[in-house]
Amino acid sequence: MHDLEQKIRARTCRYGVIGLGYVGLPLAVAFAQRGVHVVGFDVDRSKTDALSAGRSYIPDVPAAEVAREVSAGRLEATTDFSRLAECDVVSICVPTPLSKSRDPDVSYVAAATESVVKTLRAGQLVVLESTTYPGMTEEFLRPPMAATGLTVGRDVFLAFSPERVDPGNVKYGIRNTPKVVGGVDPLSTRFAADFYRIAVDHVVEVSSAAAAEMAKLLENTFRSVNIALVNEVALMCDRLGLDVREVVGAAATKPFGFMAFQPGPGTGGHCIPLDPLYLSWKLRTLEYRARFVELADDVNLSMPRYVVARVVTALNDAERSLKGARVLVLGVAYKRDVDDTRESPSLEILRHLAEGGAQVEYADPYVPEVAVHGRTWRGVPLEPGTLARYDVVVVATDHRALPWDRVAAEARLVVDARGAVPRDAVRGVLWPLSGPPVRGAAAAAPAVAGARA
Ligand SMILES: NC(=O)c1ccc[n+]([C@@H]2O[C@H](COP(=O)([O-])OP(=O)(O)OC[C@H]3O[C@@H](n4cnc5c(N)ncnc54)[C@H](O)[C@@H]3O)[C@@H](O)[C@H]2O)c1
């Protein structure tokens, strides 16, 4: 039996996690909790210091769990990458963003690979977890590993295993979310799969790293395309004077052959808006245009402007202009119950509203301040009377902690891009994402009626 296999079976292998963010930290803690000695590596000293002091900075990872693993000596965090030499298994969980031209920015994976290669020794397994294009593990990681003189598949091992963590999801975590694993050779697949079985109930082996990379991109492209489809249906419904949520709700009663996606102000986060573009980029190099990916990207990117157009329509109906209007945006995180504002459509909404001359503020229980194109906004607290002070309240993120009944009762005018505000409790005027406005008891008769944006 190979030395590494023995260590994995006995759980005496030492595990290094490079990049301790939304993906890396939960992974590090999950393996520590299964008795594996974990060393976390990050270039951000504030993160390694926080972890060493037993603190967490990721909402899904309770500080008490970090503190328990750190004080038990099973979890360490460091900026000293020479300690990668101690690790038998190393996961790379660094960002894979897009460049300004919306092409893959692989500089973080390049830097992490360089750190791994510097200390590479026989008996190490390297697993890339960062989402990437099909072929990257083979094309980008294997050559520098092989250049050390060690043979991949015999002395050292290499695999790709996509991360499926869903921040804020209380039902599915590392343990009960099946994990796909594909190595660059059969032994790499086997060792990586055995390793993940320590902390994950169901591990799915595929025949290559590229198949695992493509599976991840299919998952995220599926979401991007379906969200874009329902967003486009919202635009169609608006032309038809229909409420898209009523239409989706009715279609969702079909017990087979339909899966309901909810429309909204666009997609956000580090995955859905970006990952499919890794796929379209790779396909472009093979002279193939990934049409669904590009169309979905176009539709989803257009949604913040559509929401702002809806705000203009709502203000116009109330005989107000956007210029000078006091606007409160509710929610700047990209989805409910998380603190992540990366690629959040709310930021585009804030920007377009401000560019239109509105006096814009926001409230978000998870995000105290946010920077958009060099301007920093500070969130306002929702005190009694706050909501009534604004000409219009724009619902961009449907955090469960926001007081939706109060929004219905106190706001004069609401544009609800998420369907969060209870319609029957509305006292002013509520404009849903599409279709005619709902006018409550306290709403003045409209000077300019109209359902269309
Ligand atoms: N966030 C998610 O929900 C999610 C889900 C599935 C997959 N992913 C993928 O996982 C990867 C990581 O995403 P994330 O959300 O955890 O990102 P993140 O920004 O939260 O964390 C990345 C961490 O890597 C660190 N880092 C950057 N360069 C480094 C280097 N050279 N060496 C060591 N550390 C370095 C950063 O300081 C940061 O702490 C991305 O490829 C992403 O697409 C993310």
In three-state secondary structure terms, 31 is helix
Write down the pLDDT at residue 167: 84
Residue 338 has pLDDT above 60, yes or no: yes
Report the distance separating Cα 123 and Cα 121, nearest Å.
6
Report the distance separating Cα 240 and Cα 246, nearest Å.
13
Whether 18 lines ligand 1, by a CB cut-off of 6 Å, is yes
Query: Per-residue pLDDT tens for 349-372?
Result: 999 999 999 999 999 999 999 999
Fold classification of 217-297 is N-(1-d-carboxylethyl)-l-norvaline Dehydrogenase; domain 2 (1.10.1040)
- The DSSP annotation for 422-443 comes to -GGG-SSEEEESSSPPEE-TTP
Are 392 and 315 in contact, with CB atoms under 8 Å apart? yes
Tell me whether domains 3-207 and 303-439 share a fold: yes
Weakest mean pLDDT among 205-209, 287-291, 370-374: 370-374
Are 13 and 195 in contact, with CB atoms under 8 Å apart? yes
Report the distance separating Cα 267 and Cα 387, nearest Å.
26
Q: Which of 127, 136, 270 to mutate to test the pocket of ligand 1 (most atoms within 8 A of CB)?
A: 270
More confidently predicted of 166 and 212: 212
- The DSSP annotation for 378-405 comes to E-----TTTGGGSSEEEE----TTS-HH
Whether 220 lines ligand 1, by a CB cut-off of 6 Å, is no
Report the distance separating Cα 451 and Cα 435, nearest Å.
6
CATH class of 303-439: alpha beta
Distance 272 CA to ligand 1 centre (A): 14
At residue 135, what is the residue type?
A: G
Report the distance separating Cα 333 and Cα 301, nearest Å.
16
Annotated catalytic residue within 13, 87, 237, 271: 271
Query: What is the number of the ligand 1 atom nearest to the C-alpha of 19?
Result: 24
**Could you confirm whether 271 is annotated as catalytic?**
yes
Distance 86 CA to ligand 1 centre (A): 22
Are 97 and 274 in contact, with CB atoms under 8 Å apart? yes
Output the CA–CA distances (angstroms, integers) from residue 226 to 90, 205, 303, in the order listed: 34, 27, 14
In three-state secondary structure terms, 76 is strand
Fold classification of 3-207 is Rossmann fold (3.40.50)
- Residue 155's pLDDT band (cuts 50, 70, 90): very high
Residue 448 has pLDDT above 80, yes or no: no
Q: Which tokens in the block code for residue 381?
A: 């607290």
- What residue ranges do the domains of the chain occupy? 3-207, 217-297, 303-439
Report the distance separating Cα 218 and Cα 229, nearest Å.
16
Go through the chain and tell me how many residues it has.
453
pTM: 0.92
- The DSSP annotation for 77-138 comes to EES-GGGGGG-SEEEE-----B-TTSSB--HHHHHHHHHHHHT--TT-EEEE-S---TTHII
Query: Per-residue pLDDT tens for 106-150?
Result: 999 999 999 999 999 999 999 999 999 999 999 999 999 999 999
Report the distance separating Cα 202 and Cα 214, nearest Å.
19
